[in-house]
Chains A and B, each alone.
Chain A
């Protein structure tokens, strides 16, 4: 029963004062049979009151505002969590029966969102790839594992080539991306063969091997298998997501689960740093997080060179300028 201490810091730094900031955080670990939260604390600069509600997909979502002028916003989440290994699927039901069970899910509210195909131009090509490699009597579990491997082998893991706004078309053309892109492609494949698939955001934790996605928030997919339920598949590492994956939220796609997002008013640009560190209990945790820090200047928020040197107009500009920040 692994035990992890995770520290996740999100820090926005603005090059001038901003105000009227409104933010949404989905940083609360899911509590279920395989994940026990021993302690969780969130600290936010300015100490705003955070209201937590349960969203449509059952995730805890917090929101807060920060209206006074400020030039940094820092969100620190400290999680102490116990995870349990979950048995892999027995997969002992006849393949045909399993596929039939999946067909029965069509039109059912619990799965409808996870079966809806997101349209992109590569869909036909993807369908052909799937058709070409058909294996007789393959179970949904076997097929899902094969798809996971396909994504792992055919897409290159390159940090920074994509952003949260990159479309499936772009990922498909690049054949590269980060964990969220890998997850999206895998979900598309699963939905094409009628296996409900959902997006998961969280952390990958390990003290032994080095995995992709450490030091940042991680993402993977879950496939719904008859007789088993949701099975986590991490196409970035080509493994089953189990006791080393700590789950924060599930949804249709990244935007249902984005860990931190917000909008603010002001003419300043922002840079974002995210640091995730994982330690085992007993470690003096606060100092040792490994600095895999991402600097990001979203392309939409280029430096405003024409900001007038006139306080009145600067103020007007600031009040009109509404910007978006997302991790």
Chain B
């Protein structure tokens, strides 16, 4: 049935949605052309392509940083040459679902920092919001341009055993990874130049242009050439490669905190010819470090007084400050209710069922079923500090439980969802590995746009369900077909 040696070891995992194989072990229509192409290629040829991809990543310095590894800080992000393919129909659904969700999350942020109708009406408990460390009282009644708080969102999606899409988490602060989406595509173009047009793969290269256009539209000064900068924490940040890439692609200045200064409630960039007023800041510095006057006073990554300039509307900051209250994992639970509340619509994309450990009854249930749960910190990211119940030892579970009891509000638990699998090229064979999907949504004054694609992360270790790059994950090019 499979006419190639590449498939001899391909064993789809039970109870798992395989992106390539249907239930009848037939190759799904949207994968056919790629598989046909692969079966015509020799192993040597594919190995060469894989090798070329590695060399390209290395020579272009496409890296990320792993914290606490004790080794060199920069690593190559492992890349799998076989694309992940999404049909036009699947994409239309995902796109609609993300637009709905992002629209609502923006409404929620506006509400929670002004009238708080959603609290008054008892939809989201005040306690959950006020105990969130990212709920910044400093943002109360601050007017942000066009009421857009989340200009850039990376919403993580996974697919359960029946192919249903679930939102795993919302990333609304400084979501990273979009440069890999762009670079993966560039590399695939070199590996399989003919295949992309033949298959009808939609382009993602518009991303920097759309982002740039949105940034431009936020300028508080109506002048022909407003100054836009990308504020990076610097070379030690895990996404520094991305900061340089995006600044280059958009043609904006790449700056660090020490390059900026606030005078008269305006932000200026220090240049060789003097101070130049800055209109829009795409910042990749977290809220806590953004303004040492107001937040962490020991931060040297930010700019003292920047919040004052922002409050006066003299500078636009992207994403807005204080978004962490909307992507907190305890508040995530309430997003479907928010959709019903603000839009009077049913959520298009489902949430993964989530238990709040701050709630004693739910905590009891979770402790009784810890081996079937994934437990996470409500304000963590990057796969650090998670407990994967199915793979943990009793000792690990006990230790983690002790951590939870200290501060239950900071934890949530979700049943282990078995992530869909897609074929990866490994030692001359195609092998299924678990994947997720992070599309990048851009919200500007005229609405939300999502380039057709995203970052597909792969858990490269066999059987692993953790796709985070910091935890041994890799990535694939993501094809959305017309």
Contact = CB atoms under 8 A, between A and B. Distances in A.
A22, A57, A108, A112 — which one has the most chain B CB atoms within 10 A of its CB? Answer: A22
B297 A263 contact: yes
Given A20-B304, A22-B262, A113 B130 contact: yes
Contacts of A116: 130-131
Given A49-B265, A63-B293, A67-B263, A319 B258 contact: yes
B134 to A, nearest CB: 15
Nearest to B291: A22
A320 B293 contact: no
A156 interface: no
A75 to B, nearest CB: 15
Interface string A304-327: 000000000000000110101010
Given A263-B292, A263-B304, A107 B138 contact: no
A322 B304 CA distance: 10
B428 interface: no
B419 to A, nearest CB: 37
B66 to A, nearest CB: 26
B196 interface: no
B38 interface: no
Contacts, number: 76
Interface string B120-137: 000001110011000001
Contact of B261 (A20, A53, A57): A20
Given A51-B265, A108-B126, A322 B312 contact: no
B272 interface: no
B210 to A, nearest CB: 33
Contacts of B116: 109
Interface in A46-95: 48-49, 51, 53-57, 63, 65, 67
B264 A65 contact: yes
Given A116-B130, A263-B304, A67 B119 contact: no
Interface in B301-333: 304-305, 308, 311-312
Interface in B276-307: 292-294, 297-298, 300, 304-305
A261 interface: yes
Interface in A278-327: 319-320, 322, 324, 326
Contacts of A263: 292-293, 297, 304
A138 B187 CA distance: 75
A65 B297 contact: no
A177 B195 CA distance: 74
A216 to B, nearest CB: 22
A262 interface: yes
B140 interface: yes
A22 B293 contact: yes
A98 interface: no
Contacts of A57: 137
Given A23-B293, A109-B116, A320 B258 contact: yes
B265 A324 contact: no
Contact of B312 (A21, A51, A107, A112): A51
A20 B138 CA distance: 22
Contact of A322 (B130, B263, B292, B308): B292
Given A263-B297, A322-B304, A112 B130 contact: yes
Contacts of B125: 107
Contacts of A49: 264-265
A24 interface: yes
Contacts of B312: 51
Contacts of A23: 293
Contact of B308 (A21, A51, A107, A324): A51
A324 B138 contact: no
Contacts of B127: 107, 112
A65 B262 contact: yes
B130 A24 contact: no
Interface in A108-152: 108-109, 112-113, 116
A65 B263 contact: yes
Interface in B133-151: 137-138, 140-141
Interface string A244-277: 0000000000000000011100000000000000
B300 A107 contact: no
A22 B304 contact: yes
B116, B258, B261, B305 — which one has the most chain A CB atoms within 10 A of its CB? Answer: B305
A112 B304 CA distance: 29
Given A63-B308, A107-B125, A108-B126, A56 B293 contact: no
B318 to A, nearest CB: 22
Contacts of B297: 261, 263, 324, 326
B127, B258, B298, B304 — which one has the most chain A CB atoms within 10 A of its CB? Answer: B304
A204 B297 CA distance: 29
A109 B130 CA distance: 8
Given A63-B308, A322-B304, A24 B294 contact: yes
Contacts of B298: 322, 324
Contacts of B265: 49, 51, 63, 65
A60 to B, nearest CB: 14
Contacts of B141: 54
A316 to B, nearest CB: 10
Given A107-B126, A116-B131, 12 more contacts: A53-B311, A54-B141, A55-B138, A56-B137, A56-B138, A63-B293, A63-B308, A65-B305, A112-B130, A319-B258, A324-B292, A326-B297
Interface of B: 116, 119, 125-127, 130-131, 137-138, 140-141, 258, 261-265, 292-294, 297-298, 300, 304-305, 308, 311-312
11 contacts: A22-B304, A23-B293, A24-B294, A48-B264, A49-B265, A56-B137, A63-B293, A65-B264, A67-B263, A107-B127, A116-B130
Interface of A: 20-24, 48-49, 51, 53-57, 63, 65, 67, 107-109, 112-113, 116, 261-263, 319-320, 322, 324, 326
5 tightest A-B CB contacts, nearest first: A22-B304, A22-B305, A56-B137, A324-B297, A56-B140
